[in-house]
């Protein structure tokens, strides 16, 4: 028989958690809490599988100028400047991404050109905002503009906002209100550290205090489709302009084979960085919750399209050797 003291010691021993076990349980708890911030339980595949069929250009190899070779040596992990908020502008006087000027800021009377004055106010230590121009294919682009009665040459703007998953319509004259309502994030107060000299507050952020947002200036609708866009900004870098049409065609054919053509917007996007890793493909599923759901791929060729559709779009698996995000963040 055990004495009372021996029984007590046994109970305490059972209840005691070794330091290694404590660390394990803490890490498990943090991972479970972190998952609550993601709408999608992404899994990983090491490589993109080989295609199972030929659409006619599955094995096409784009020809790049000798001075504009693709960088096949660098590990793509963490090469993408993935934002926390991404504004995709559909109202653009230039109908083809390949015809955009080298910088979208050079497009007159546009969101990219007018928003530059607010950049330092919306880029903080806590968030990164990217403004891109997109053009959707298969007549989807014009259908959306017609649906919301956006006339050619109008100052009315239509954007997709991620990860808020909203379609937003407003007039360019109230861009300051748009920025304050949807993009502005007041910097958090830094934790006091007596050994580090504090940065002076950014006085230009105070300008937003004087902006009054009139909610009636904005029309919102929900985004109910996935988005897949390919960088085709030829006047920024020719590599993107060469490969984008091939990838766009291949994606459209493969999506039709899987009967997914009505569930996803496809098209081209302006410069996203990383010309040397063309083709650059961005996939934003309709279930986006945070920027962890923004999937950026690089060095995508037509032979990779079937794998991306089947693994990433259908099964929500990230392909490691194409992924330009931070694998360690998942």
Q: Out of 84-98, 111-125, 268-282, which region has the weakest mean confidence (pLDDT)?
A: 111-125
Q: How far apart are CA 170 and CA 160, in angstroms?
A: 12
Query: Which pLDDT value is given to residue 75?
Result: 96
Average pLDDT, integer, range 171-189: 86
Q: What are phi and psi for residue 63, nearest 5 degrees?
A: -100, 115
Q: Where are the domains of the chain?
A: 43-329
Instruction: Give the contacts of 198 (CB within 8 A, at least 6 positions apart).
Output: 190, 192
Instruction: Give the contacts of 71 (CB within 8 A, at least 6 positions apart).
Output: 276, 277
Expressed in angstroms, the distance from the first to the final Cα of the chain is: 52
Q: By the 8 A CB rule, do 248 and 55 touch?
A: no
pTM of the model: 0.84
Higher pLDDT, 265 or 199: 265
Query: Which pLDDT value is given to residue 136?
Result: 96
pLDDT reading at 154 higher than 80: yes
Write down the mean pLDDT value for the chain. Answer: 88
Q: How far apart are CA 242 and CA 260, in angstroms?
A: 26
- The length of the chain is 330
Element (H, E) at 167: strand 166-171
Count Cβ atoms below 10 Å from residue 60 Cβ, excluding itself.
Answer: 17
Confidence class for position 189, pLDDT limits 50, 70, 90 = low
Query: Which pLDDT value is given to residue 153?
Result: 86
């Amino acid at each position: 028989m055990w004495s009372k003291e021996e029984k007590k010691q046994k109970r305490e021993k059972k209840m005691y958690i070794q330091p290694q076990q404590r660390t394990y349980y803490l890490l498990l708890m943090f991972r479970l809490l972190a998952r609550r911030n993601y709408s999608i339980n992404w899994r990983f595949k090491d490589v993109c599988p080989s295609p199972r069929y030929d659409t006619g250009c599955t094995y096409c190899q784009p020809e790049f100028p000798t001075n504009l070779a693709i960088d096949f040596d660098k590990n793509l992990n963490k090469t993408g400047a993935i934002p926390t908020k991404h504004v995709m502008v559909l109202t653009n006087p230039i109908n083809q991404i390949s015809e955009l000027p080298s910088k979208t800021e050079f497009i007159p009377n546009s969101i990219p050109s007018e928003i530059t004055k607010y950049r330092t106010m919306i880029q903080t230590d806590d968030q990164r905002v990217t403004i891109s121009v997109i053009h959707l294919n298969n007549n989807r682009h014009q259908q959306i503009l017609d649906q919301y009665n956006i006339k050619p040459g109008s100052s009315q703007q239509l954007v997709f906002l991620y990860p808020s998953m909203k379609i937003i319509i407003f007039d360019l004259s109230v861009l300051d209100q748009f920025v304050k309502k949807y993009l502005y994030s007041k910097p958090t107060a830094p934790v006091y550290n007596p050994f580090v000299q504090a940065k002076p507050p950014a006085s230009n952020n105070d300008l937003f205090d004087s902006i009054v947002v009139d909610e009636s200036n904005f029309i919102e609708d929900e985004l109910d489709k996935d988005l897949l866009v390919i960088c085709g900004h030829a006047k920024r870098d020719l590599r993107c302009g060469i490969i984008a049409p091939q990838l766009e065609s291949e994606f459209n054919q493969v999506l039709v084979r899987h009967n997914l053509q009505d569930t996803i917007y496809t098209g081209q996007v302006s410069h996203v960085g990383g010309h040397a890793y063309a083709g650059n493909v961005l996939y934003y599923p309709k279930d986006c919750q945070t920027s962890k759901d923004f999937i950026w791929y690089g060095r995508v060729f037509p032979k990779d399209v079937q794998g991306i559709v089947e693994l990433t779009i259908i099964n929500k698996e990230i392909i490691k050797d194409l992924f330009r995000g931070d694998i360690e963040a998942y």
